[in-house]
Structure 1
Amino acid sequence: MRKLNLLLLLLIPFISQAQNDCEGFYIAKEGMSSTMKSYNAKGKFESSSISTILSRKNIPGGIELEVKAETKDEKDKIQFSSNLTARCIDNVFYMDMKGLIPEETMKGWENMEMSIKGDFLETPSDLKAGQKLKDGLMNIEVSSSGMSMMTMVFEVKNRIVEGFEDITTSAGTFSCAKISYDIHMKMLFNMQLKAVEWLAKGVGPVRVESYRGDKLQGYSELAELKK
C-alpha cells in the first residue's frame, strides 16, 4: 500500500506560481518546500514525501525548475531521493514522468542500465470544470551487459477536472482544483488504479486519494509548506 501512495505523490504535476505569466498549482520559489504525509485506508501513518525547489532559471517562454523529491518512512529515515525537472511554458506546466518509478524498483536496478523514454505530464494553469487534460506515457527498458531484462510501461489516462472545492488539512484551508485520473502500470504484472487529487494555486497538492475499483487504498495530505 505504501508503494501506491508514494507513486501517486510523485505523479502529481509540479505546477507552480513561477512568474506573472506562468501561474499555477505548485511552489516555484527557490528554497520552497512542501511535505505530504501518507496514510493507509485505516488512517495509519506510513511515510512522508518532501518536494524542494533546488533551482529556477529562465528559458524561452517560461522557466525551468530542478526539484528534489525525497521520501521518508514512518521512522523519518530517507528511503528515496531523486532530482526531477519541471518546466512552465506559456501557462502550461510540464513535469518529468521519471517520478513515476517507485523507490523499491529503483533499488532493485542499482547495478543495471536503464533507458527511459516518455512524456512530460502537462497541466495548464487555467483549469475549468469538465476540462480533459492530456494523458502521459513512459517506457522503461532495463538491461544488463547489453541484454534486455525487462520492459515497463506507465500510463496516466482519463485526466479530468472534476470541479473546485475547499480542502482543510493540518497545514490550513485551501481552495483547490479537483482532478481525477487512471493509472495503468504494465510490468511483470498489470496494475490499474484510480486517483483523485486536490491542487491549490501557489501551493500544489493538498490531498491525494488512491483507489482500486471503488475501495480506498490510501491517502496523502499536505502537512507543511515552507516559503
Structure 2
Amino acid sequence: MKKYIVLGLIALFAVHLSQAQSNCSSYYPLVDGANFQYTNYDKKGKEDGQITYKVTDVQSSSSTTNAIMMMEMTDKKGRAYTSDYEVTCEGDVIKIDFKSLMNEQMLSQMGDVEMDISGTDVELPNNLSVGQELPDANMEVKMKMGGGINMNTNIETLNRKVEKQESVTTPAGTFDCYVIYSETKTKMMMTNQNFPSRIWLAEGVGMIKQESYNKNGKLLGSMVLTQYSK
C-alpha cells in the first residue's frame, strides 16, 4: 500500500490532477461539490483501480481562489486511500500545494512513516496553443519508515509541449482536447526511469485521458475520465 500511495503521488504530479475555478482557469472548474472519477487501465486494457476527486471548501477573492481537493484512490484489490490537499488558482495559473498532501490522514494510512515533500509547482496557463512549450517542474518525496528504512523519490516533469488538438471519447462523453506531451523522470532508490506521457485536456472539465509509455513508445497504462459532475 505504501508503494501504491507513492505511485499515486507521482501520477498526481505528472498528470496535473488539480481542479481550479472557472474564472481563474479555462480548463479546470473549481465548483464546490464538483466530482471527477478516473479509471486506471494496465497495458492490456484491464481495469487497474480508480481515483476520485471532489472539490470542497472553495474560497475566492478578486485574484485568487483556494480550494480543498478530496482524493480517494482504490487499487485493483479494493484497498482504498483517501486524503485532502490544497489547490490555489492565482492569476491564470493553477498550483498544487504538495506539502498539504503530507497530512495526518495520509500518514495514518501508511503506518509508521514520516514524509517530507518539496519541489516546484506544476503550472498550466489558460491560453494553450499547438506548439506551445510549458514550464518544467519537479517534486522530491523523502520517506522514513519503520525499521530504519529510508526511501527518497525525485520526480521531474520535462519537455512539456502542446502537441495538437483532437476530439476524444470516454465513458463520460466526447470532448475537444489539447494534447500535452511530457516526460517524467523518476529516481527511486537505485532505479532511474523516464516515462513519456500524454494528457488530453478539455476546457471546463480538465483532464480527460492520460497515457504513459516506456522508452520505446509502447503503452504502459492509461487513466480515463469515466464520470464527472459539477
Q: Which category of TM-score, normalised to the shorter sequence, fits these structures?
A: 0.7 to 0.9
Q: In structure 2, the residue corresponding to 1:123 is in which secondary structure?
A: coil
Which residue is 2:46 aligned to? 44
Structure 2 distance, partners of 1:136, 1:110, is 29
Which residue is 1:180 aligned to? 181
Gaps of 5+ in 1: none
Which residue is 2:97 aligned to? 96
For normalisation by structure 2, the TM-score amounts to 0.83
Displacement of 1:99 in angstroms is: 9.4
Contact 1:70–1:82 under 8 Å retained in 2: yes
1:216 is matched with which residue: 207, 215, 219? 219
Structure 2 distance, partners of 1:149, 1:73, is 24
> In terms of mean alpha carbon deviation, does 209-218 or 111-120 score higher?
111-120
Judged with a 3 Å threshold, the aligned counterparts in structure 2 of structure 1 residues 216 and 43 are, in CA distance, closer, same or farther, namely: same
Displacement of 1:158 in angstroms is: 0.9
Displacement of 1:12 in angstroms is: 2.4
Gaps of 5+ in 2: none
Give identity over the alignment, percent: 29
Q: In structure 2, the residue corresponding to 1:133 is in which secondary structure?
A: coil
Contact 1:28–1:65 under 8 Å retained in 2: yes
Aligned length: 221
Contact 2:163–2:179 under 8 Å retained in 1: yes
Contact 2:184–2:194 under 8 Å retained in 1: yes
Displacement of 1:37 in angstroms is: 0.9
Displacement of 1:192 in angstroms is: 1.4
Structure 2 distance, partners of 1:150, 1:204, is 32
1:198 is matched with which residue: 197, 200, 213? 200
Superposed CA RMSD in Å reads 3.0
Which residue is 1:12 aligned to? 15
Displacement of 1:198 in angstroms is: 0.1
Contact 2:40–2:50 under 8 Å retained in 1: yes
Greater share of strand:
1
1:23 counterpart = 2:25: yes
- Look up the equivalent residue of 2:51 and give its one-letter code: S
Contact 2:107–2:114 under 8 Å retained in 1: no
1:226 counterpart = 2:224: no
Contact 1:56–1:63 under 8 Å retained in 2: yes
> In terms of mean alpha carbon deviation, does 11-20 or 213-222 score higher?
11-20
> In terms of mean alpha carbon deviation, does 149-158 or 190-199 score higher?
149-158
Displacement of 1:151 in angstroms is: 2.9
Q: In structure 1, the residue corresponding to 2:11 is in which secondary structure?
A: helix
- Look up the equivalent residue of 2:221 and give its one-letter code: G
Displacement of 1:202 in angstroms is: 1.3
2:57 is matched with which residue: 37, 55, 58? 55
Contact 1:50–1:70 under 8 Å retained in 2: yes
Q: In structure 1, the residue corresponding to 2:123 is in which secondary structure?
A: strand
Which residue is 2:111 aligned to? 110
Contact 1:5–1:220 under 8 Å retained in 2: no
Displacement of 1:160 in angstroms is: 0.6
1:140 counterpart = 2:141: yes
Displacement of 1:13 in angstroms is: 2.1
Structure 2 distance, partners of 1:109, 1:190, is 24
For normalisation by structure 1, the TM-score amounts to 0.84
Structure 1 distance, partners of 2:5, 2:49, is 7
Summarize deviations over 1:49-71 as a string: whole Å, max 9, x none: 10110221124622012111111
Q: Which has the higher contact order (CA 8 A, sep 6+)?
A: 1
